[in-house]
């Protein structure tokens, strides 16, 4: 299993799979073929259906600005993975080379069966059950488990992640105007924040503070601003919202960064054994995983044991099952922005419930829910998996 660094990446929104993944794909192509005379890029599946709204063609054009190229949106061909793209590279001798690439979520791409990034295999275990057993045998916490296997720079890495999240909250709360695109959605986080400050009830409502911080980051993502993938761009608001909640409970930056260790572990388990791609498994794979990560973050920071942390993550993901991904007009705006706020609050509720439920009576474990989430996602009709062909996207486009 790979490093948790793969779950927390700093980059531009609005989509880790549709914007950052294709950007990294072009990097791969240009590294492998440094002197192309022409490049054709064919986008399939969800990349074709919602690529315009997710700025897929924009980022590819930007990366290939000095090279003759063509981008084709293939809406009809069926592919095994919905985030498939194919590059046909004509070299300086006129020979064509075909490179199929899959964007699996979180900015990670697969090229001929191999991940193209610098993040390495890190953990010897593949399931939370095995990890919990290992921790019990060693008498260590999940936080200590992550520290045992990650590189020595992991705390420094997560400190940068924390700082980037905080900056995205502040930028989101300060910004106003409309978000890019045809929907003419107005930014609301600033107004929400001012309304809260002017309300006695709002000042004391920590869940409301979490929701506003989440809203702010989700708007930053929709505007193409710099955010932290956690585990994706579309779900990037959830963890920062929960961090805002923990700060209001007077936990330190050091405490919260320690919690991010375990949040990352939950995220990479979901990516390894399930999916974090809305195009592959619906929004349950993005916002549901972010909610599970955030519930684990809270329970870790608040000092609960490994079993309660695992139960909090399980509760959060179990009650996200079946959530569809139907962005209106392909933009990561409706319902994505409000959804981040709702699921930050849901993470808090999941953590609270995990405190009081008897752990030993639980019938469902985290690994089972991850597998169920993936299978449920595969069973969701294609129109509800980041295509904008059905659901809310269809209703509002009538």
pLDDT in tens, 220-243: 999 999 999 999 999 999 999 999
Q: In which residue are the tokens 């069973």 written?
A: 379
What is the pTM for the complete model shown?
A: 0.91
Q: What is the pLDDT of residues 256-283, one digit of tens each?
A: 999 999 999 999 999 999 999 999 999 9
Place of tokens 């409706």: 334
| Residue 100 main-chain phi, psi, to 5 deg | -75, 135
Tell me: pLDDT of 118 over 80: no
Measured between alpha carbons, how far is 192 from 175 in angstroms, rounded to an integer? 12
3-state secondary structure (DSSP) of residue 42: strand
Residues 94, 37: Cα–Cα separation, whole Å: 8
Q: What is the mean pLDDT of residues 118-130?
A: 90
Q: Are 13 and 233 in contact (CB under 8 A)?
A: yes
256-265 in b/e burial notation, b at 16+ Cβ within 10 A? bbbbbbbbbb
Q: CA-to-CA distance for 281 and 379, rounded, in angstroms? A: 8
Q: Six-digit token pair at 153?
A: 């720079």
Describe the crossing of helices 206-222 and 189-197 by its angle, rounded to 10 degrees. 160
- Percent of the chain exceeding pLDDT 70 equals 97
Lowest mean pLDDT of 83-87, 115-119, 262-266, name the range: 115-119
CA distance linking residue 388 with residue 136, whole number of Å: 45
Distances from the Cα of 323 to the Cαs of 106, 148, 278, 382, in angstroms?
Answer: 18, 35, 10, 13
Query: How far apart are alpha carbons 282 and 39 in whole angstroms?
Result: 31
pLDDT band at 116 (very low <50, low <70, confident <90, very high): low
b/e per residue, 14-45, with b = 16+ CB within 10 A?
Answer: bbbbbbbbbbbbbebbbeebeebeebbbbbbb
pLDDT classification of 120: cutoffs 50, 70, 90 = confident
Does pLDDT of 117 surpass 80?
Answer: no
């Amino acid at each position: 299993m790979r490093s948790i660094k793969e779950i927390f990446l700093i980059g531009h929104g609005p989509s880790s799979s549709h914007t950052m993944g294709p950007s990294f794909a072009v990097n791969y192509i240009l590294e492998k073929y440094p002197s192309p005379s022409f490049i054709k890029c064919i986008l399939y599946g969800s990349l074709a259906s919602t690529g315009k709204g997710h700025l897929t063609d924009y980022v590819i054009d930007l990366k290939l600005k000095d090279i003759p190229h063509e981008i084709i949106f293939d809406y009809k061909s069926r592919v095994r993975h919905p985030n498939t793209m194919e590059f046909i590279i004509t070299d300086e001798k006129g020979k064509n080379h075909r490179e199929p690439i899959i964007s699996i979520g979180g900015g990670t791409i697969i090229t001929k069966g191999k991940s193209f990034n610098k993040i390495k295999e890190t953990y010897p275990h593949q399931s939370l059950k095995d990890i919990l057993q290992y921790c019990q045998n060693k008498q260590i916490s999940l936080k200590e488990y992550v520290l045992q296997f990650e590189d020595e720079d992991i705390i420094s890495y997560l400190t940068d992640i924390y700082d980037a999240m905080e900056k995205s909250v502040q930028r989101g709360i300060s910004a106003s105007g409309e978000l890019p695109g045809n929907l003419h959605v107005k930014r609301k986080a600033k107004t929400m924040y001012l309304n809260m400050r002017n309300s006695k009830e709002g000042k004391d409502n920590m869940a409301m503070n979490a929701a506003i911080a989440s809203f702010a980051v989700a708007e930053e993502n929709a505007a193409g601003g710099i955010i932290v993938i956690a585990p994706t761009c579309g779900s990037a608001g959830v963890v920062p919202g929960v961090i805002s909640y923990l700060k209001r409970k007077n936990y330190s930056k050091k405490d919260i960064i320690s919690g991010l260790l375990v949040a990352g572990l939950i995220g990479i388990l979901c990516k390894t054994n399930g999916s974090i791609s809305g195009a592959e498994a619906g929004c349950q794979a993005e916002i549901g995983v972010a909610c599970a990560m955030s519930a684990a973050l809270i329970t870790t920071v608040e000092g609960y044991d490994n079993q309660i942390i695992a139960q909090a993550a399980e509760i959060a993901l179990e009650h996200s099952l079946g959530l569809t991904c139907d962005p209106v007009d392909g933009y990561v705006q409706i319902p994505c922005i409000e959804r981040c706020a709702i699921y930050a609050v849901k993470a808090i509720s999941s953590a609270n419930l995990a405190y009081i439920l008897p752990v030993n009576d639980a019938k469902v474990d985290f690994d089972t829910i991850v597998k169920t989430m993936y299978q449920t996602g595969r069973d969701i009709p294609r129109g509800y998996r980041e295509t904008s062909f059905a659901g809310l996207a269809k209703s509002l486009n009538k």
